[in-house]
Amino acid sequence: MFQAIQSVAGQGDAAKGAMHAGSTSSHAASDNPDPQAGAAGKIFVVDDDYFVREGICGLLQDVGLEVEAFSSCEDFLDGHRHGPNTCLVLDVHFPGMGGLALLRHMREVADHTPVIVVSGSSEINEAVRSMKKGALDFIEKPVARDQLVDCVMRALVQSRQSEEISVARGEALRHLQGLTSRQKQIMALVLSGHPSKNIAADLGISQRTVENHRAAIMDRTGAHSLPELARLVMSTQWTPDH
């Protein structure tokens, strides 16, 4: 069924791509983010070196960002409340809980705050380990201002997008969960490519009843086409068992 849904969802992609083809230039600007665009963002800085910590905070505050600093991973966990439009600038080496252990913990508790790792080590293995644990980027110390600001702005964009996707997914799932058992059954068959006539015969109901259920499904989910409905279902990882 999942492959069938992907196929239906893909039917709308070509048209969608054509509609957005002319907007490529407007999105290109995101490669060079404007620092002031992230002025509402909040950055958490975790580093046990006071001077490095204060230096990073100063660079970020200079471009209008709100900054909260911590000297250890444990202090960060005690005071951090993850949310949209935030990111974490994190050192790797600490007494006690290390930066990579904090990364692992954040992923385990589904904290998707984007993380930028900074380290005095230039070893490629450390960068690779950081990225595998979920870091968005890796910066060597001493931290260059432009590189840091660019990375932070990209992280804030990702944070906002992740939050928007999460909210949209939750809303879509609520719509799907509001369907009746019969509607869910018919939706699964429709997205698997079965025509209404065949669905009616298989379920022992009239074709008009199937069409009425299809219309109710589209109305309750807010989908305007089958490809849109399929994309909504895929975004929630919904299955007929839900």
Task: Tell me: do 161 and 192 sit in the same domain.
Answer: no
- Residue ending a domain, choose from 145, 166, 187: 166
Is pLDDT at 88 greater than 80 in this prediction?
Answer: yes
Collapsing DSSP to helix, strand or coil, 193 comes out as coil
Of the three residues 146, 166, 186, the one that is the final residue of a domain is 166
Structural domain for 197, as ranges: 178-236
Residue keyed to tokens 């060597």: 140
Q: Residue 114, preceding bond cis, omega within 30 degrees?
A: no
pLDDT at 35: 40
pTM of full prediction above 0.75? no
229 C-beta neighbours (distance < 10 Å), count = 24
pLDDT on residue 142? 87
- The band of 62, judged by pLDDT with boundaries at 50, 70 and 90, is very high
Residue with structure tokens 């840091």? 148
pLDDT bucket at 206, cuts 50 / 70 / 90: very high
Instruction: Please check whether residue 121 lies inside any domain of the structure.
Output: yes
Residue 113 lies in a domain: yes
φ, ψ at 49 (rounded to 5°)? -90, 115
Q: Same structural domain for residues 72 and 119? A: yes
Residue 143's φ and ψ, nearest 5 degrees, are -75, 125
Do 162 and 211 have their domain in common? no
Q: Are residues 141 and 81 in the same domain?
A: yes
Q: Which residue among 113, 135, 166 closes a domain?
A: 166
| pLDDT higher than 90, residue 59 | yes
Residue given tokens 């999460």 in the structure block = 166
Higher pLDDT: 18 or 73? It is 73
Number of domains in the chain: 2
Question: What is the reported pLDDT for 143?
Answer: 87
Residues 153 and 183 in one domain: no
